């Protein structure tokens, strides 16, 4: 049975799947030489070449990866082939706002509570928010704080 030529991964696509392949692609897109990128990122030309060409090359440290990404004008996530995590939402659920208004909570406490999720979801009722808030306040004594 003949393989579909369009379904096979090409060597260029395989190379782009690695950190080194993505570095090479971004470098070439910007028409940077190895020497230029190495100088801008503060790494040796030989190390950069090894990253781009040797699939068994040691992965760069976070500091080195950051320097290369900065020099290329991309994110570390771009070089790693990963999506950026979304920023935390500042949205206050209606049930939390209702509880916060009733309990006259300071805005700092409302913001702290708004970040709480259990198994991926925030509490859905003002009663649950009240329970969580009271549990946090009560537990302050465990840390040597005082409940007010």
**pLDDT tens sequence across 25-82:** 999 999 999 999 999 999 999 999 999 998 787 788 999 999 999 999 999 999 998 8
For residues 19 and 16, give the distance between their C-alpha atoms in angstroms, rounded to a whole number: 7
* Dihedral sign computed on CA atoms, order 28, 32, 34, 38: negative
CA 61 to chain centroid = 16
- Domains of the chain plus CATH, in order, are 11-80 (1.10.260.40), 94-143 (no CATH)
Answer whether 0.85 is exceeded by the pTM. Answer: no
């Amino acid at each position: 049975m003949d393989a579909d030529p369009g379904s096979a991964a090409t060597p260029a696509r395989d190379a782009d799947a690695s950190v080194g392949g993505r570095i090479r692609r971004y470098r070439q897109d910007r028409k940077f030489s190895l020497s230029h990128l190495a100088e801008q990122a503060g790494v040796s030309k030989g190390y950069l070449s090894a990253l781009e060409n040797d699939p068994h090359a040691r992965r760069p440290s976070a500091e080195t990866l950051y320097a290369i990404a900065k020099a290329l004008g991309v994110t570390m996530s771009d070089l790693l082939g990963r999506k950026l995590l979304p920023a935390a939402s500042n949205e206050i659920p209606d049930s939390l706002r209702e509880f916060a208004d009733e309990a006259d909570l300071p805005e700092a406490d409302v913001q702290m509570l708004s970040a709480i999720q259990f198994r991926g979801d925030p509490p859905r009722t003002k009663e649950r928010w009240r329970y969580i808030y009271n549990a946090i306040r009560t537990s302050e004594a465990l840390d040597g704080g005082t409940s007010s």
